[in-house]
């Protein structure tokens, strides 16, 4: 038997679907609080010293946290090539806006404190705000559009065609439901950033973060509930019809898909997936309660649970769909027909099994070394700080 045949193709596809979700959740759990802190910066810190305290809570870790974003993009490219091709071409302008914001952020970190001029520093503070708020909003908008379906189709030779104008590729994404998903994403990460500041800062910065984080958590809670109702009654779902071949060739045109019913029908078919939205709602409620009570470590953990539940609820609700098509439902990308080859998925899984524990161990060690609060004395005294 060939080595890669030890694991069925069907199982490998599910494993890589799950791993993609793990990478996206890992990005939101780590770089999410970085973006949240950046978006909160102009509001929770009123003096230059307070802003430096807030910035230095994430300064030593934000670069490492972005590894999850790179890993997620790499996983899409290697494990789900059609998804990479369609999403990066159809969402091109939105992706460009996200990358521009993410590029602006490191420049702001590095240049902000190079000059003592107040206007110079204020400008870079707003750059950090943009670098945090814009990606947090647009990632949610992207998820909302995935649930609504994307206007693309595949030709007979599997060439993807996006049905829309150049500018429509950005403005067309700003649909009401997608904007609501963007608000949920932004509010969720603001709450996460506030939980981080509550843990890592002290005094006025931590107190203001708790107030803003409480409001953001309540907005996330209401928005997530509203999105669920909207999804149940205002968004048409997708379903596979006929015989579903789970270990066949990676050709979406071989599958028959139709629109109809509700995405939430998945909860009748697989009742156990209700654990994800329960984690989302409960995590937000407990994080908000923790922020109001001034608890620190537990609040951050509850916030992480909320993010895990909210993101997982999308993937579990849509399974096996990854990217539905509104133009030709049979061009929709699913777990069963849009992956790389059996051998490619197996080799990648072996590499992941080797390197992922190393990444996790190193990340845990870094956070252990950097444990503790950032004080005003830390940023005003001798030594390196942002």
Which of 251, 315, 364, 365 is CA-nearest to residue 19?
315
Q: Per-residue pLDDT tens for 165-217? A: 655 566 678 899 999 999 999 999 999 999 999 999 999 999 999 999 999 99
Sequential pLDDT tens for the chain (386 residues): 466 677 899 999 999 999 999 999 999 999 999 999 999 999 999 999 999 999 999 988 888 888 888 888 888 889 999 988 888 877 888 888 888 998 999 899 889 888 888 899 999 999 999 999 999 999 999 999 999 998 888 888 888 888 766 555 666 788 999 999 999 999 999 999 999 999 999 999 999 999 999 999 999 999 999 999 999 998 999 999 888 888 888 888 888 888 988 999 999 999 999 999 999 999 999 999 999 999 999 999 999 999 999 999 999 999 999 999 998 999 999 999 999 999 999 999 999 999 889 988 988 898 888 888 888 888 877 766 67
Give a yes or no: residue 299 inside a domain.
Answer: yes
Number of Cβ atoms within 10 Å of the Cβ of 216: 28
Residue ranges making up the domain that contains 358: 3-380
Give a yes or no: residue 386 inside a domain.
Answer: no
Per-residue buried b or exposed e for 254-274, using 16+ beta carbons within 10 Å of the residue's own CB: ebebeeeebbbebbeeeeebe
Give a yes or no: residue 312 inside a domain.
Answer: yes
Give a yes or no: residue 385 inside a domain.
Answer: no
Number of Cβ atoms within 10 Å of the Cβ of 218: 15
Provide the domain count of the chain: 1
Q: What are phi and psi of 236, to 5 degrees?
A: -80, 135
Contact 325, 150 (CB under 8 A): yes
Q: Indicate the burial class of 158 (C-beta count within 10 angstroms; 0-12, 13-18, 19 or more).
A: middle
């Amino acid at each position: 038997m060939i080595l890669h045949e030890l694991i069925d193709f069907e199982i490998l596809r599910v494993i890589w679907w799950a791993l993609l979700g793990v990478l996206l959740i890992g990005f939101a759990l780590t770089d999410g609080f970085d973006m949240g802190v950046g978006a909160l910066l102009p509001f929770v810190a009123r003096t230059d010293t307070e802003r430096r305290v807030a910035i230095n809570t994430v300064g030593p870790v934000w670069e490492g946290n972005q590894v999850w974003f790179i890993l997620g993009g790499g996983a899409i490219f290697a494990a789900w090539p059609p998804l990479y091709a369609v999403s990066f071409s159809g969402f091109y302008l939105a992706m460009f806006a996200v990358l521009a914001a993410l590029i602006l952020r490191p420049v702001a970190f590095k240049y902000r404190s190079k000059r003592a001029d107040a206007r110079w520093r204020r400008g870079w503070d707003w750059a950090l705000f943009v670098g945090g708020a814009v990606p947090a909003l647009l990632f949610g908008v992207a998820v909302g559009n995935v649930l609504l379906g994307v206007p693309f189709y595949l030709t007979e030779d599997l060439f993807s065609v996006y049905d829309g104008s150049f500018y429509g590729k950005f403005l067309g994404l700003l649909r009401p439901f997608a904007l609501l998903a963007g608000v949920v994403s932004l509010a969720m990460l603001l709450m996460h950033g506030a939980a981080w500041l509550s843990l890592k800062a002290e005094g006025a910065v931590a107190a203001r973060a708790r107030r803003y984080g409480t409001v953001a958590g309540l907005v996330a809670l209401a928005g997530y509930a509203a999105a669920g109702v909207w999804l149940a009654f205002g968004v048409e779902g997708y379903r596979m019809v006929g015989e579903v071949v789970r270990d066949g060739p990676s050709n979406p045109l071989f599958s028959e898909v139709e629109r109809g019913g509700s995405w939430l029908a998945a909860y009748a078919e697989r009742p156990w997936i209700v654990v994800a939205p329960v984690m989302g709602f409960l995590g937000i409620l407990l994080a908000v309660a923790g922020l109001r009570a001034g608890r620190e470590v537990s609040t951050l953990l509850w916030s992480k649970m909320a993010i895990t539940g909210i993101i997982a609820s999308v993937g579990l609700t849509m399974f096996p769909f990854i990217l539905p098509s509104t133009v030709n439902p049979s061009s929709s990308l699913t777990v069963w027909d849009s992956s790389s080859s059996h051998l490619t998925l197996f080799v990648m899984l072996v590499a992941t099994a080797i390197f992922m524990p190393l990444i996790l161990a190193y990340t845990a060690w870094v956070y252990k070394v950097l444990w503790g609060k950032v004080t005003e004395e830390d940023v005003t005294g001798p030594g390196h700080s942002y």
